[in-house]
Amino acid sequence: MALTDAKAKTATVPEGMKQTKLADGGGLYLLVKPSGKYWRMKYRFNGKEGSPLAIGVYPAVSLKQARGASKELLRKNIDPNQAKKADKRKPTEEAQVVKFEGVAKEWYEKKLPEWAESTAKHNKSRLDNYILPRIGSLPVKDIEPFEILGIARG
């Protein structure tokens, strides 16, 4: 029997149990725990059972949204869990353009209170005279180990 929004709203964990599952059909179910209600979906992809797909938290993700979310990926012949993992691995646009100079200055400001004045001056001088002129303008993701070695070896 298909799940209804009313059943989802009033669902609770039976006494003495840690959690319960309310099935909707097609692999979709609402996992009910004392801490909250979570949409999950059991599915098969290329003949293999995938680990349950986490779709979202009820009521932020409605019953209608939960029904449509993962089934769209399966219709397109995409493994939902693999798609989710790939999205997590994609660097954000911000991470793609972070320059070394910004990271170095952030590091310097963070460490400054820990250093004696002479150490702070010494480190600032090294950054300004040796490191930043060579790699300061480069995106962090593009800096190669040989560039760091070149700076270290002078």
The one-letter amino acid code at 68 reads G
Global pTM? 0.52
**pLDDT tens, the chain, 154 aa long:** 688 999 999 999 999 999 999 998 888 899 999 999 999 988 777 777 877 888 889 999 999 898 887 677 667 777 777 776 776 666 665 555 789 999 999 999 999 999 999 999 999 999 999 999 999 999 888 889 888 888 888 7
